[in-house]
Amino acid sequence: MKNFALIGAAGYIAVRHMQAIKETQNNLIAALDKFDSVGIIDSYFPDADFFTEFERFDRHIDKLRHNENKQIDYVSICTPNYLHDSHIRFALKQQAEAICEKPLVLNPWNVDALQEVEKETGKKINNILQLRLHPSIIKLKKEVENAPKDKVFDIDLTYLTSRGRWYFISWKGDMQKSGGVATNIGVHFFDMLSWIFGEVQENIVHVSEESTAAGYLKLKRANVRWFLSVDYKNIPEDVKKKQQRTYRSITVDGKEIEFSGGFTDLHTV
């Protein structure tokens, strides 16, 4: 059994981490969030210590480091994107492995600095990119691997997940804190595509707005046209008639890849 700490316990994604920790027979020792709407902890780890101030959480984790039975093995990081870098450093310097939600960092040069912290501490950073575990995506990867090695695929990616006015008031609507639409809702898809079709050779952004982003991505084995938006106006009319606010579509050489469901249970392996 491994001991976990969790930063960002009040966020909507935190419950998936709690569930995964529970389902893998591990233990949540301590949790942190500046907001105290964390009653969900009772459903998983009612005995976990909870803090609303980082300083007290920091002191507690440091004390546990000297307790052989309660040393923290992993820190799950479910905080706003711009805080990931700092919280990863905290985890590693407390001699724990980091498990961080996407994106790992907002600026690519920060990755090099984090690699140095890994070397200094001997601890590892793990990024949550669970779309790689989706059955439809695994199937697609196998099909691409079995195709002629020189074949280049044509891909159209559309992901529309409409958000209300709150989104643009929250940190998610702040480019400096979230990285914008492409980073906040697109990173899973970009990772998945490069995982299957190879490294990026060219990246062109045609649209970069508060609610919408679009562009062209040339990968080693694919030409990708992508469109991302949190604006309800972009939802297709037939989807709106079904009272749905989200639309996902990936076509590979004109063939639709079905992956409309199965997104909420990929944190547990």
Q: What are the pLDDT digits (tens) for 116-139? A: 999 999 999 999 877 888 888 999
Over range 190-211, report the average pLDDT: 96
Question: Which pLDDT score is estimated for 62?
Answer: 96
Residues 66 and 158 in one domain: no
pLDDT value of position 68: 77
Q: Is there a single domain that holds both residue 209 and residue 220?
A: yes
pLDDT at 3 over 90: yes
Taking 60 as the threshold, does the pLDDT of residue 20 lie above it?
Answer: yes
Question: Which of the residue ranges 49-63, 68-82, 133-147, 247-261 would you say has the lowest mean pLDDT?
Answer: 247-261
Separation between Cα atoms, residue 186 and residue 147, nearest integer Å: 26
In this structure, the answer to whether residues 138 and 245 fall within a common structural domain is yes
Task: Indicate the pLDDT class of residue 192, thresholds 50, 70 and 90.
Answer: very high
**11 part of a folded domain:** yes
Instruction: For residues 145 and 110, state if they share a domain.
Output: no
**Segment 203-228, tens digit of pLDDT:** 999 999 999 999 999 999 999 999 99
158 and 234 fall within a common domain? yes
pLDDT at 67: 84
Mean pLDDT on 224-245: 95
How many percent of the chain have pLDDT more than 70?
A: 96
* DSSP per residue, 90-102: HHHHTT-EEEEPS
For residues 44 and 14, state if they share a domain: yes
The DSSP call for residue 257 is: P
Q: What pLDDT does residue 130 have?
A: 78
Q: What is the pLDDT of residue 133?
A: 84
Q: Which of 168, 90, 81, 162 is nearest to 127 (CA)?
A: 81
The reported pLDDT for the residue numbered 52 is 98
CA distance 82 to 260: 29
pLDDT at 195: 95
- pLDDT, mean over the chain: 94
**Residues 113 and 141 reside in one and the same domain:** no
128, 150, 177 — which closes off a domain?
128
Whether 145 and 223 share a structural domain? yes
**Of 75-84, 109-118, 254-263, the least confident:** 254-263
Rounded to an integer, the average pLDDT of 181-187 is: 93
Encoding tokens for residue 243? Answer: 């009272």
Domains contained in the chain, number = 2
In a domain, residue 171? The reply is yes
What pLDDT, on the 0 to 100 scale, is given for residue 132? 87
Q: How does DSSP assign 115-182, residue by residue? A: HHHHHHH---EEE--GGGG-HHHHHHHHHHHHS-TT--EEEEEEEEE---THHHHSGGG-HHHH--HH
Domain that holds residue 201: 131-256
Evaluate whether residue 200 is within a structural domain: yes
Same domain, 237 and 214: yes
Last residue of a domain, one of 87, 109, 128: 128
Residue 183: per-residue pLDDT: 94
Closest CA to 79 of 42, 20, 128: 128
pTM exceeding 0.85: yes
Whether residues 91 and 139 fall in one domain? no
Q: Could you tell me if residue 269 is inside a domain?
A: no
